[in-house]
Amino acid sequence: MHYRLSRVKAPQHLKTRRSSSLEARRNQKLDSYFKRVFGPNFAVRARPRKDDSCEVYREDEFIGVIYLDDEDGDRSFNFSMAILDVDLES
């Protein structure tokens, strides 16, 4: 007698909930890091519909984006911030 085993995929809402909690934990750690290094006015927030990056704000002003780099098993984060000419003049 042969039994056929098939893989059962987890429902999408369970996958989302799990990754959302991992993202929330990661964002909390990044938020704590930015507050410790740059001061309490900085905040890390989740990006809508993106799970590989988050946004950085200083008070209510958007500052930049943190990207997750998970290549070759080494996990790191890259912070990208654009500086406009107008901002340099003030």
Q: What is the mean pLDDT of each run of 10 residues along the chain (90 residues)?
A: 47 48 89 96 91 92 92 88 87
The total domain count for the chain is 1
Please report, for residues 39, 50, 78, 89, 90, the alpha-carbon distance to residue 83 in angstroms, rounded to integers and kept in the order given: 19, 23, 16, 11, 12
Say if CB 56 and CB 44 are below 8 A apart: yes
Q: In the structure encoding, which two tokens stand for residue 79, read together? A: 């912070």
How confident is the model at residue 80, as a pLDDT?
96
Any domain includes 74: yes
* Structural domain includes residue 42: yes
Q: Is residue 6 included in any domain, yes or no? A: no
pTM over 0.85: no
Kindly state whether residue 56 falls inside one of the protein's structural domains. Answer: yes
In this structure, is residue 7 part of a structural domain? no
Chain centroid to Cα 9, Å, comes to 25
Would residue 45 count as lying in a domain? yes
Domain that holds residue 74: 12-89
Residue type, 19: S
Confirm whether 17 is domain-assigned. yes
- Has residue 3 been placed in a domain? no
